[in-house]
Every structure is written in C-alpha cells, then in structure tokens.
Amino acid sequence: MKRSRFSEEQIIGILKEHQAGITATDLCRKHGISDATFYTWRKKYGGMEVSEAKRLKALEEENAKLKRLLAEQMMDVATLREMLGKNF
C-alpha cells in the first residue's frame, strides 16, 4: 500500500481549513493534491480530531494483524485436516 505524503495531523488541518471557508479547489492547488484525494480524505477523516484519527489508524493496523493471524490459522487447520484424511 502506498504511503501518504501527509500525516493525519496535516490532513485534518487541511480539512479544517476547508471548514473555515477556503474552497476545495484552492486547498487542492495550495497543497498539491487532487480533488479526488481531498474528497476521499473528507469522507474518511471529516469531523475527526487528531486523537481520533490516530486511534482509527491503530485500530486499522490491529485489524490487519488479526486478519493475517486468522488466515494463517485457517491454513494450518486445512493442512492438518488434509494430513488426517490420508491413510498411511
């Protein structure tokens, strides 16, 4: 996954500028981002504070780790079932 040039703090700062009255087009030009990126950020981080965004990122990382662990366990179980099904 591609890493963003902007931190959560910077993204939320940009969104707060928009809430203060600066147009989306001007913000995109000022910060060098596309309109699609701005609206994606607004959908994901709109109305959040920095602490909430950090918590969201931590939960996403934890969720990814748990999904990997689950996939590994499912592979182990499938391998064991396959081995037990064979006649020696």
Q: Is residue 3 part of a domain?
A: no
- pTM score: 0.66
Query: Residue 78 above 70 pLDDT?
Result: yes
Q: Could you give the number of structural domains in the chain?
A: 1
Give me the domain span that covers residue 72.
8-85
Q: Is residue 2 part of a domain?
A: no
Where do runs of H (alpha helix) occur along the chain? 8-19, 24-31, 35-45, 50-85
Q: Is residue 1 part of a domain?
A: no
Q: Is residue 22 part of a domain?
A: yes
Q: Is residue 31 part of a domain?
A: yes
Query: Residue 88 above 60 pLDDT?
Result: no
Q: Is residue 61 part of a domain?
A: yes
Q: Is residue 45 part of a domain?
A: yes
Q: Is residue 41 part of a domain?
A: yes
Banded pLDDT at 75 (limits 50, 70, 90): very high
State how far the Cα of 79 lies from the Cα of 47, in Å rounded to an integer.
46
